[in-house]
Amino acid sequence: MTTPSSKPRILVSRAIFPEVLAQLESVFDVEHNQADALWSAQELITRLQGKDGVLTTGSECISAELLQACPQLRICANMAVGFNNFDVPAMTASGVQGTNAPDVLTETTADFGFALLMATARRMAESEHFLRAGLWKRWSYDMFCGSDIHGATLGILGMGRIGQGIARRGFHGFGMKVIYHNRRRLDAEMEAACGARYVDKATLLTQSDHLVLVVPYSAESHHVIGAKELAQMKSTATLVNIARGGIVDDAALACALRSGQIAAAGLDVFEGEPRVHPDLLTVPNVVLTPHIASATLATRRAMAQLAADNLLRFFVHGDVLTPVNTPVASRN
Ligand code: GLV
């Protein structure tokens, strides 16, 4: 006869680093998904039955319906800094702790944002495709001319930790003029460290040579860059989105790229990813990457470890390291 385990029961909803999984397995009763199957919303609910906690990536949705169907669930630990896959008000109201994975990915993601900006402005993907296609027959004076990064105006929408990392790179490394718009203005010391000047959104759109989006996704930031905003940008401008799909209206962006309303875009995130708007696949002046801004082994390992540490802290010490909410009541 088997006796029910007294260990907390945890679901790890996607494949993660085996060594992090092994740590969880040494403390918890773990169901994992090392086969990395993509579960439907219903299958996730089924697998969560009787689970006390879950380690999610940004791809699994923790909805009010799921919370209601999984009354034993007490904590959702996201292996991502963004947590728009969580219905936070529903979690808070139903006593479920949410955590995310901030800080450990800041510099890696800022590196990538800057790399995508450079690849976009200097037309690296477009010119590489041209070379691979065997179309390079001779040098010419204006072949794949892009726009300068050094000395240009770098605009940043969303000046959190990653936005500040990009600002520092632009200001200290490339002598850029940095302007930003954010819900909250940084204090003077932080602005000085990034060499950044606060402007309103219209000024950001009209003055940026390169505009990088690092704003979290919410109802408020949905399509914050659409046809109207693209029309306000310089025709020579580049746009980079490393934040979340849905912040940019991808259909409007494809039109703006095709018509030359802006010069180029670099996108790491897409509305409805992993699907990509078909029009973006056919315009040449866009660099497309599959949501990899935080993807170095060291950083992804640190993100998984932080999510695991949140679960360990919660069940062993009754607190967490990086909460995204303060539940109003506790379950059970
Ligand atoms: C990645 O997109 C994250 O939110 O960590």
Chain segment 48-67, per-residue pLDDT in tens? 999 999 999 999 999 999 99
Residues 59 and 123 in one domain: no
Quote the percentage of the chain above a pLDDT of 90. Answer: 97
Map residue 250 onto helix, strand or coil: helix
In a domain, 327, yes or no: no
Ligand 1 centroid–CA 81 distance in Å is 5
Residues 155 and 207 in one domain: yes
Q: Which residue's CA lies nearest to atom 3 of ligand 1?
A: 80
Picking from 249, 270, 288, the residue at the C-terminal end of a domain is: 288
Residues 90 and 167 in one domain: no
Residues 110 and 229 in one domain: yes
In a domain, 269, yes or no: yes
In a domain, 3, yes or no: no
In a domain, 301, yes or no: yes
Q: Which of 2, 63, 52, 58 is nearest to 30 (CA)?
A: 52
| Residue in 105, 161, 324 to alter for ligand 1 test, most ligand atoms within 8 A of Cβ | 105
- Domain holding 31, by residue range, is 9-102+297-317
pLDDT in tens, 91-149: 999 999 999 999 999 999 999 999 999 999 999 999 999 999 999 999 999 999 999 99
pLDDT for 71: 97
Residues 129 and 253 in one domain: yes
In a domain, 2, yes or no: no
Residues 151 and 90 in one domain: no
User: Residue 266 pairs with which residues in a beta bridge?
Assistant: 240, 287
Ligand 1 centroid–CA 82 distance in Å is 5
Residues 98 and 112 in one domain: no
Q: What is the mean pLDDT of the chain?
A: 97
Q: Which residue's CA lies nearest to atom 4 of ligand 1?
A: 82
pLDDT in tens, 221-254: 999 999 999 999 999 999 999 999 999 999 999 9
What residues line ligand 1, using a CB cutoff of 6 Å? 58, 80-82, 105, 294
Dihedral sign for Cα 307, 312, 313, 318, please.
positive
Contact present, 286 and 293 (Cβ < 8 Å)? no
Residues 151 and 116 in one domain: yes
pLDDT in tens, 3-12: 556 899 999 9
| Residue in 99, 241, 294, 299 to alter for ligand 1 test, most ligand atoms within 8 A of Cβ | 294
In a domain, 1, yes or no: no
In a domain, 78, yes or no: yes
Measured CA to CA, the distance from residue 37 to residue 15 in angstroms comes to 8
Residues 121 and 260 in one domain: yes
Number of domain units in the chain = 2
Measured CA to CA, the distance from residue 205 to residue 191 in angstroms comes to 19
pLDDT for 331: 74
Residue 27 maps to which CATH number?
A: 3.40.50.720
Measured CA to CA, the distance from residue 238 to residue 86 in angstroms comes to 31
Residues 19 and 162 in one domain: no
Ligand 1 centroid–CA 212 distance in Å is 16
In a domain, 184, yes or no: yes
Measured CA distances, 196 to 103, 166, 173, 193 (Å)? 20, 11, 14, 8
Q: Which of 141, 268, 294, 146 is nearest to 210 (CA)?
A: 146
Quote the percentage of the chain above a pLDDT of 70. Answer: 98
